[in-house]
Amino acid sequence: MASVRAVLIDIDGVLTVSWEPLPGAVAALREVREAGFGVALVTNTTSRTRASIASVLEGAGFAVSARDILTAPAVTAAYLAERCPGARCTLLNSGDITEDLAGVTLVGGESEDVDVVVLGGAGPEFGYTALNQVFGHLQGGARLVAMHRNLYWRTDDGLQLDSGAFLAGLEKAARTEAEITGKPSPAFFEAALARLGVGADEALMVGDDIESDVLAAQRAGLTGVLVKTGKYLPETHRSASGTPDHVIESFADLPALLGGSADQ
């Protein structure tokens, strides 16, 4: 841990569940900041904008601002601007995230002229009509860009199905492969590291998703820390494609794992 100068932290399942703070998380984040570590909250959440997430977290007691938050939609906007400038994009997502998609030309799913299908997080919007429209665009040659491959997430009511389950079906049916912009994409971690001004060997990633958060970060050169909260399940831990660098019970245990200040 001596080389660690910054911490990347997933939000849902690590700091909060259904936007309610997990025990000890507020105090632990404060300790991490006071110790001098750089902090970036990195999330595949697609139901809220960065500003909205910051407002909710502040209301829950976390000392954060929108500048501390990097979301899959924000990274997606940058990706589309670089790879598909001027493209007509149709978005299938649960929640209004247009504020974080500045510069992206959005058209309705019923449009006949779609260059890129952008898939966000699942919700009631993911009905047959919408999915079939997406399928039609893909058959017509549109590119498929997905913000993540998450199969599910944790709420107060338990695990809920996410868009990764629909994405797998669309890819197979349309015989295409999605371009992923959020975690576990290496580009997502690179964007977070660039924002913090540190190298991969100086950063640690804390997450509840062993594949998309932890092992993906480790493949990008970061130190990975798995927490046993949120979507964590013993069976997914046992059957994972690799081994986390560290496993802790919850985010509340992170200050002890870091063991001191970033200046040591």
Q: Cα(33)–Cα(219) distance, rounded to whole angstroms? A: 26
DSSP letters along 63-109, please?
---GGGEEEHHHHHHHHHHHHSTT-EEEEE-SS--GGGGTT-EE--T
Average pLDDT, the chain: 94
In which residue are the tokens 């910051």 written? 54
Q: Note the pLDDT of residue 156.
A: 81
Other residues' Cβ atoms within 10 Å of the Cβ of residue 175: 8
Query: Could you tell me what percent of the chain has a pLDDT over 90?
Result: 91
d(CA 155, CA 163): 15
pLDDT value at residue 263: 58
Q: 218 pLDDT exceeds 90?
A: yes
Q: How much of the chain, in percent, has pLDDT values that exceed 70?
A: 99
Tell me what pLDDT residue 185 has: 92
- 58 CA to centre of own chain: 19
Dihedral of CA atoms 39, 43, 46, 49 in degrees, nearest 10, equals 0
Contact call for residues 50 and 74 (beta carbons, < 8 A): yes
- Coil, helix or strand for 170? helix
- Residue 110 tokens read as 């019923």
Count the Cβ atoms, other than its own, within 10 Å of residue 245: 16
Buried b (16+ CB within 10 A) or exposed e, 192-215: bbebbebebebbbbbbbbbbbbbb
Res 211 pLDDT > 60:
yes
pLDDT for res 45: 87
- Above 90 in pLDDT, residue 256? yes
Rounded Cα distance, 2 and 44, in Å: 29
- pLDDT class of 239 with cuts at 50, 70, 90: very high
Angle between helices 186-196 and 72-83 (to 10 degrees): 100
The span from the CA of 52 to the CA of 62, in Å, is 13
What letter represents residue 262's amino acid? A
CB contact set of 98 (below 8 Å; sequence gap of 6+):
106
Is the pLDDT assigned to residue 264 strictly greater than 60? no
pLDDT digits (tens, 9 = 90+) for 145-191: 999 998 988 788 888 999 999 999 999 999 999 999 999 999 899 99
Reported as a single tens digit per residue, the pLDDT across 15-28 is 999 899 999 999 99
Phi-psi category of residue 158: left, alpha or beta, with phi > 0 → left and psi -120 to 50 → alpha: left
Residue 146 per-residue DSSP state: E
Q: What number of H helices and E strands is found in the chain? A: 9, 15
Q: What is the pLDDT of residues 111-151, one digit of tens each?
A: 989 999 999 999 999 999 999 999 999 999 999 999 999 89
As a residue count, the chain comes to 264
Residue 261 clears pLDDT 70, i.e. is over it: no
